[in-house]
Chains A and B, each alone.
Chain A
Amino acid sequence: MSSADSVAALPEEGKARVKTRGASGVTRFPFISAVVLALVLLVAIAAPFIAPHDPEVGQLSNKLIPPMWQEGGTSEFPMGTDTLGRDIFTRILFGTRISLMVAVLATGLAGVLGTIVGLIAGFYRGWTETILMRLTDITLAFPLMLMAIVLVSVLGASLTNVLMVIVFLLWPYYARQIRGEALAVSELDFVDLARVAGVSNRRILWRHILPNVMPSIGVLATLQVALIILLEASLSFLGVGIPPPTPAWGLMVADGRDLLGRAWWVSIIPGIAIFAVVLSANLFGDWVRDRFDPKLRQI
């Protein structure tokens, strides 16, 4: 491939390549975390078929059996049982469903809402923009956890409410990001061209601007999955999230809070499950960001 280049306009290729040498290590595909996430997805789908016990009903005679590798443990309950005799392994398997459902739904809904607001604000400008962005700023002005606790406690603890609250608190992140990009894109020539050609505003917005901000939405969404899983688990742990007897991981950790001396596994094992998933989602999200959107790198 030989192309004619003016000497003066040659890119600083050699230099740039030498400079970024170490950074490419970050962009290597995160194999382990991808496997963990795929496994979680698989387990969430297959939970009823592979789980050995009922996730919500247990026998009190089986209560607080230690995990199989400890003295007194049995392979019937590989990770032990809780105070109600429920199999922790089964509950962890079913717990993936809760975590994933909240993560996927909240990410999706917040993404859609935030994107719409961001697009409209960035494209129409003027008063619409001012009002929408003030709203975004104010929502972003307060600590996430605090607002989540208050909102859930006021609305009542339930899966739907947790979901709604998370969506309500997270859409501004998308709105802020997408607005900036919509602003930039709508200043490009092809938008003017479309306008000159008589294309309606609405069509420009959906056909021309949206596809250009899509990558950022994807990157942001990947990054938020871990945050949402952690947020839901923390709310459930504090008792202002998903109510019992649902096998939400955070709730399981809370169950074992007073049993640390006698039965550490009741809270620590589900805690490790959350940790593993959040860690994988974080690493995967970092990779997606570095790979597809180096602009977001500063955060």
Chain B
Amino acid sequence: MLLEVKDLRVQFVTRRGVVKAVDGVSFSVERGETLGLVGESGSGKSVSCLALMRLVEAPAGRIMGGSVLLEGEELLDYSEREMRQVRGGQISLILQDPLSSLNPAYTIGNQVAEAIRIHQGMRGRELTDSVVEILTAVGIPQAEQRLKQYPHQMSGGMRQRVAGAIALSCRPSLLIADEPTTSLDATVQAQYLRLLSELQEKFQFGMIFVTHDLGIVARLCDRVAVMYAGRIVETGSTRQIFNEPAHPYAKALLATLPSLDSRKKRLLTVTGQPPIPINLPPGCSFAPRCPEVMDVCRETFPSRSSLGDQHGVLCWLHPSPDGAPSKAAPQASHG
């Protein structure tokens, strides 16, 4: 197993209370495999990813517990120095917005070179060569001439490729892509996704693809984890989630997809706002918006039940056989 996350918890202390942004999340990724992390904005997807790299901002944000195993090594026990070697070395992350994630004050050559220099200690000609090599690999034409260009001199699609080059420059074993295509237009987006698949084929890294676009998930991911209010409410293979969604939230998300068989395009089906996870009441956090809500949902949090190979869900519609409250979501015991 490349990455194994168990019961990860992240909190933010805010003026209005403690936000449990990530509340007992577990998932795993293997080499060459892509996991889709799906959910609305604020559901804790991005925070989970940053937490893997231990980049939750102190002092407001803190990792409260859990375990992050990268090839068997516990990252939460690493020193800051060891962690820096992991960041950009073994784990890389592509941020959402290519416009703002590249430093406007440095040339792209410099920015790609920085990561290689830090992790592989290259200098001079050798360094320049590997920068050109990786830029070419992500499909940037005439990479040599572009080394001296600044981010603002490139198009959005090119910048996103540069961000990809930075992420892949040190041949990471795990790549996290945090909605990397939201700011790109449709054609560029398709090209970029194709590129990511090709690169994964080539470098055999494990990938976590964060998105709220189920269309992309269907095309790109092997497995899916659906997040809601800091928890993963359903996991399964892409086929399982798309064909037999078990959680009402997953069903609602799927219903937002333009369907093929019926002509009418239903775009709006998940009604209401996702909760900000501050002082959540006991019970299922989706209950207020759930079309299939029952009394038990408002009182007790459902426990995980298995629906078959890999497929799991947290929902009272599918009570776990032993009926015991889930370990992943003890209520009010640590609030």
On A, residues with C-beta under 8 Å from B are 2-8, 10-15, 17-18, 21, 24
Residue interface bits B235-268, CB-to-A below 8 A is 1, else 0 = 0000000000000000001001000000000011
Neighbour of A17 across the interface among B14, B256, B267, B274, CB < 8 A: B14
The answer to the question of B21 belonging to the interface, with a C-beta cut-off of 8 Å to chain A, is: yes
Q: Are A10 and B40 in contact (CB under 8 A)?
A: yes
Q: Are A2 and B272 in contact (CB under 8 A)?
A: yes
Closest chain A CB from B277 CB (angstroms): 8
Q: Are B268 and A4 in contact (CB under 8 A)?
A: yes
The answer to the question of B167 belonging to the interface, with a C-beta cut-off of 8 Å to chain A, is: no
CA distance A14 to B12 in the complex (A): 11
Q: Are A3 and B272 in contact (CB under 8 A)?
A: yes
16 other contacts beyond A6-B256, A7-B270, with CB at 8 A cut-off?
A: A2-B272, A2-B273, A3-B271, A7-B212, A8-B212, A8-B256, A10-B42, A10-B273, A11-B41, A12-B42, A13-B276, A14-B41, A18-B14, A18-B19, A18-B21, A21-B14
Residue interface bits B7-39, CB-to-A below 8 A is 1, else 0 = 000001011000101000000000000000000
Closest chain B CB from A17 CB (angstroms): 7
Which residues of B sit under 8 angstroms from A11, Cβ to Cβ? 41
Give the B interface residue count (CB, 8 A). 24
CA distance A24 to B60 in the complex (A): 14
Q: Are A6 and B274 in contact (CB under 8 A)?
A: no
The answer to the question of B87 belonging to the interface, with a C-beta cut-off of 8 Å to chain A, is: no
Give the most central of B42, B268, B276, B289: most A CB within 10 Å.
Answer: B42
| Known A8-B212, A24-B15: A15·B60 in contact at CB below 8 Å | no
Which residues of B sit under 8 angstroms from A3, Cβ to Cβ? 271-273
CA distance A14 to B40 in the complex (A): 10
- A-B complex: 4 closest residue pairs judged by Cβ atoms: A14-B42, A2-B272, A10-B41, A4-B268
Which residues of B sit under 8 angstroms from A12, Cβ to Cβ? 41-42
Query: Residue on B with the closest CB to A19?
Result: B57
Give the most central of B19, B41, B289: most A CB within 10 Å.
Answer: B41
Q: Are B289 and A2 in contact (CB under 8 A)?
A: yes
Which residues of B sit under 8 angstroms from A14, Cβ to Cβ? 19, 21, 41-42, 274, 276
CA distance A21 to B274 in the complex (A): 20
The answer to the question of B4 belonging to the interface, with a C-beta cut-off of 8 Å to chain A, is: no
Q: Are B14 and A7 in contact (CB under 8 A)?
A: no
Query: Residue on B with the closest CB to A11?
Result: B41
Neighbour of A7 across the interface among B21, B46, B60, B256, CB < 8 A: B256
The answer to the question of B222 belonging to the interface, with a C-beta cut-off of 8 Å to chain A, is: no
The answer to the question of B213 belonging to the interface, with a C-beta cut-off of 8 Å to chain A, is: yes
- Residues 54-73 of B at the A interface (beta carbon under 8 Å): 60-61
CA distance A12 to B178 in the complex (A): 14
Which residues of A sit under 8 angstroms from B253, Cβ to Cβ? 7
Listed by A's residue number, 19 A-B pairs whose Cβ atoms lie within 8 Å are A3-B273, A4-B271, A5-B270, A6-B268, A7-B40, A7-B212, A7-B253, A7-B270, A8-B212, A10-B273, A10-B274, A12-B41, A13-B273, A13-B276, A14-B41, A15-B41, A15-B46, A17-B14, A18-B21
CA distance A290 to B12 in the complex (A): 24
Which residues of A sit under 8 angstroms from B273, Cβ to Cβ? 2-3, 5, 10, 13
Closest chain A CB from B333 CB (angstroms): 24
Query: Residue on B with the closest CB to A14?
Result: B42
Q: Are A18 and B41 in contact (CB under 8 A)?
A: no
Closest chain A CB from B334 CB (angstroms): 20
Give the most central of A8, A11, A14, A21: most B CB within 10 Å.
Answer: A14
| Known A2-B289, A6-B268: A17·B212 in contact at CB below 8 Å | no
CA distance A21 to B268 in the complex (A): 31
Which residues of A sit under 8 angstroms from B19, Cβ to Cβ? 14, 18
CA distance A3 to B268 in the complex (A): 10
Q: Are A21 and B272 in contact (CB under 8 A)?
A: no
Give the most central of A7, A12, A24: most B CB within 10 Å.
Answer: A7
Closest chain A CB from B179 CB (angstroms): 11
Which residues of A sit under 8 angstroms from B42, Cβ to Cβ? 10, 12-15
Neighbour of B276 across the interface among A2, A6, A17, CB < 8 A: A17
Which residues of A sit under 8 angstroms from B41, Cβ to Cβ? 10-15
CA distance A24 to B271 in the complex (A): 30
Q: Are A2 and B271 in contact (CB under 8 A)?
A: yes
Closest chain B CB from A15 CB (angstroms): 6
CA distance A6 to B256 in the complex (A): 8
Give the most central of A2, A8, A12: most B CB within 10 Å.
Answer: A8
